[in-house]
């Protein structure tokens, strides 16, 4: 890793370099907006050349995706904390997904890629093994006794994928969501979530 530039304070390793590039991107997006932020602005913010940024990220989409995933855990924590305990897992997931659909595109960090209008190309990333594992961890931390509703580890992993596919479909075609996604989700998501409990004899 070359150490020139960086405003006289080069990163210790590649991990720190990537973290600082992401932080610079976020500052640039706050200042210029997602559509007007590119490698030129990020490089100037860091005091490095565009070539330096290219050594870590192939293009601005990749950088924005990395920044979004870095902030996703905190975003999920805020969503979960905001809904509080609900009566059943189906209603909890309806509210979590509805709030994600409503808030994620407007989030200054997680929603950057959606602000540029390029969300369709996000599919392979949002459905990657790492993203699905993160969603499974998120679901397991909700105030839900999954075992009591018939969900073992494998079933919870399947639910995580189902949840992410629904989220991606909403974010990819926002004009089809209507004013409030909750009625649709209660009609179709809730029965799917509770079907496992019914089958287990709960």
Q: Write the DSSP assignment of 27-93 as a string of letters.
A: HHHHHH-GGG--HHHHHHHHTS-HHHHHTT-SSHHHHHHHHHHHHHHHHHHHHHHHH---SSHHHHH
CA distances, 14 to each of 6, 18, 43, 56, 141 (Å): 13, 6, 16, 8, 31
Average pLDDT, the chain: 84
| C-alpha closest to that of 112 among 150, 65, 144 | 65
CA distance linking residue 190 with residue 74, whole number of Å = 25
Q: What is the share, in percent, of the chain residues with pLDDT greater than 90?
A: 38
Mean pLDDT along residues 65-78: 81
Give the tokens for residue 56: 């870590």
Q: pLDDT category, 25, cuts 50, 70, 90?
A: very high
Range scoring the smallest mean pLDDT among 94-98, 110-114, 162-166: 110-114
CA distance linking residue 112 with residue 42, whole number of Å = 14
Give the tokens for residue 160: 């995580």
Where exactly are the structural domains of the chain?
A: 6-54, 67-199
Which letter, b or e, does each residue of 76-95 get, where b requires 16 or more Cβ atoms within 10 Å of its Cβ?
beebbeebeebeebbbbbbb
Q: Say yes or no to pLDDT of 120 above 70.
A: no
First to last CA, the chain: 57
Q: Helix, strand, coil shares of the chain as percentages rounded to 5?
A: 75, 0, 25
Res 1: pLDDT: 45
User: Per CATH, which fold does 6-54 belong to?
Assistant: Arc Repressor Mutant, subunit A (1.10.10)
Range scoring the smallest mean pLDDT among 36-40, 53-57, 119-123, 162-166: 119-123
pLDDT per residue as tens digits for the range 186-197: 999 999 888 876
**CB-hemisphere CA count at 13 Å for 38?**
4
Q: Say yes or no to pLDDT of 43 above 90.
A: yes
């Amino acid at each position: 890793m070359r150490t020139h530039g960086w405003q006289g304070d080069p990163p210790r390793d590649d991990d720190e370099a990537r973290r600082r590039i992401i932080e610079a991107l976020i500052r640039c997006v706050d200042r210029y907006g997602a559509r007007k932020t590119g490698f030129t602005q990020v490089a100037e913010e860091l005091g490095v050349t565009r070539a330096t940024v290219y050594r870590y990220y192939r293009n601005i989409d990749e950088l924005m995706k990395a920044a979004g995933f870095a902030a996703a855990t905190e975003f999920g924590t805020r969503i979960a904390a905001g809904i509080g305990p609900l009566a059943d897992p189906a209603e909890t997931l309806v509210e979590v997904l509805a709030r994600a659909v409503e808030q994620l595109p407007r989030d200054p960090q997680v929603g950057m890629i959606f602000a540029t209008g390029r969300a369709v190309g996000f599919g392979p990333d949002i459905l990657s093994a790492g993203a699905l594992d993160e969603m499974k961890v998120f679901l397991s931390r909700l105030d839900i006794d999954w075992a009591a509703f018939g969900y073992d580890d494998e079933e919870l992993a399947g639910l995580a994928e189902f949840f992410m596919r629904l989220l991606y479909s909403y974010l990819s075609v926002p004009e089809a969501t209507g004013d409030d996604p909750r009625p649709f989700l209660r009609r179709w998501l809730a029965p799917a979530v509770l079907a496992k409990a019914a089958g287990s004899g709960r």
